[in-house]
Amino acid sequence: MEAIKKLEREHLRLDLPDFNPGDTVKVHLRIIEGEKERIQVFQGTVMRIRRGTTNATFTVRKISDGIGVERVFPFHTPFIERVEVVTEGKVRRAKLYYLRGLKGKAARIKTKNLWEKKK
């Protein structure tokens, strides 16, 4: 059991910023196509975070051409270059699945005030 935990600790990524559901993030992904490699940016709202050890994931939702697109990212994958927090959202839920049924102005999330963050 101790050997498994030791292996998991070696693969953990600690360089990602802290973010919560409701935050708008930019996920910079490394995409490998044949011999070429490029960076693709996926910007959207964090809908849920599933914490754990090496199997932790977070789900990001964006609207692309009027269609909702959700993508699940593992926290500790080497394919994530970096994650930028664009805005911090003010929500009262841990899982924002209700956003799937909303569109337009109804799907907006209030932003946190900067002076609340400094405290």
Q: Is the pLDDT of residue 114 over 90?
A: no
Tokens of 1: 């059991």
**Ramachandran region, residue 6 (left: φ > 0; alpha: ψ -120 to 50; beta: rest):** alpha
Q: Mean pLDDT score of the chain, rounded to an integer?
A: 88
CATH label, 2-118, candidates 2.30.30.790, 3.60.21.10, 3.40.190.10, 3.40.50.300? 2.30.30.790
Domain ranges of the chain: 2-118
Ordered strands of the 36-50 beta sheet: 67-74, 57-64, 36-50, 24-33, 80-87
pLDDT class for 112, splitting at 50, 70, 90?
Answer: confident
pLDDT of 27 reads 95
Name the maximum alpha-carbon separation found in the chain: 50
Which tens digit of pLDDT belongs to each residue from 73-101?
998 888 999 999 999 999 999 999 998 88
